[in-house]
A and B are shown apart, each in its own frame.
Chain A
């Protein structure tokens, strides 16, 4: 059995970690899909004339835009990144709880860089990266995105790879017994 599979079994034997992973993944996915319409969601939730059912049903209906408002590639990494994000987060918590003293700088950096890159890469359909586009827009260079072959989708793929790498590294650390060197 691979290192990752063994580590996943160890961590997700405990239902609390499954809950953490599912919650983190669900929240991340929802935020990614709602991102272009967060203003609308906020407007409807704050609208006194909207019923409670309407305040709930609109955000839920917007989630289906994963099938109408995303290309196949962007839909793929918009689903993958939250899943990896959730798994990575739960594994990181497990690791830190067990071996807080061993969690040195590099180890922490691996996990957080993976998560940060996930946020960086996740986002809208056509341009591939909501956050990146916003950053570039702030100094008038969002057009740079269009020069990339996948119109910024590269950053989504990069986010998936980095989170995958981070998960692999955490899994390896989890599988390492706390052995004293001779």
Chain B
């Protein structure tokens, strides 16, 4: 028995598949060629993946210890700590910021939220400067400051930033960074001086390196630390219910 004419002619159609695959290969190859020619397209750059890009492959135990130098929302001695590595231009970080605000409200003294920087430079060119702005806000806080502690100033700035800005480098940072500083009561000229000073560059880079060492290739990247030190990796802007499940699990680990 022979296939019908229609069927025979159809056997030619699957040529579309190999052609399509060749086109896909050409796109990948072309992109590769361009990327490999660009300065900075090294493995270090490759590690700066957007959220959820890869399975974490680092060591969670490489996470830098939580210290007084960290920005902590909630009780620093809370049994469960969520260490978040975040990018101010990542839309998923914006979503997750709201999720963690809800977590700290719901869990009170049981959960502390630690904010660290992971600006994805290749994806969000403005994020590193914004990370500096957050540190500059913290820099103006202190025992005698009307803003409250350094920590208070940091979180006021961070909350307003994520509330106000649309992510994906769509913010005019030349106007918005000082605008938020003014709104929350920072000294505008000291803030501007700080932004240009470079005094927090090394600190931010330390955060980035630490995130990558723990397996953070994209943002938001979080590590949930149980009372007994057990760590759970959480990649991406996971829903409140998933974070809640992990907190409950961590609270059992005493």
Listed in ascending order, the chain A residues whose CB lies under 8 Å from chain B are 35-40, 43-44, 47, 49-50, 54, 57-58, 61-62, 64-65, 67-69, 71, 102, 104, 106-107, 109-110, 113-114, 117, 120, 123-127, 130, 132-134, 136-137, 140-148, 151, 154-155, 158, 161-162, 165-166, 169, 172-173, 176-181
* B26-66 interface code vs A (CB 8 A; 1 in, 0 out): 01100110111010111101101111111110000000000
Q: Assess whether B7 is in contact with A162, with CB atoms less than 8 Å apart.
A: no
Among B20, B46, B95: residue with most chain A CB under 10 A:
B46
* A129 to B, closest residue via Cβ: B53
Among A58, A102, A106, A143: residue with most chain B CB under 10 A:
A143
- Stretch of B10-18, B158-166, B177-185, B190-198 with 4 or more beta carbons under 8 angstroms from chain A: B10-18
Q: Assess whether B10 is in contact with A65, with CB atoms less than 8 Å apart.
A: no
The contact of B249 among A36, A54, A134, by CB within 8 Å, is A54
Q: How far is the CA of A174 from the CA of B45 in the complex (A)?
A: 48
CB of B91 within 8 A of chain A? yes
Q: Assess whether A113 is in contact with B18, with CB atoms less than 8 Å apart.
A: yes
Listed in ascending order, the chain B residues whose CB lies under 8 Å from chain A are 1-7, 10-11, 13-18, 20-21, 24, 27-28, 31-32, 34-36, 38, 40-43, 45-46, 48-56, 90-92, 95-96, 99, 122-123, 218, 232-239, 241-242, 244-246, 248-249, 252-253
Q: How far is the CA of A136 from the CA of B13 in the complex (A)?
A: 30
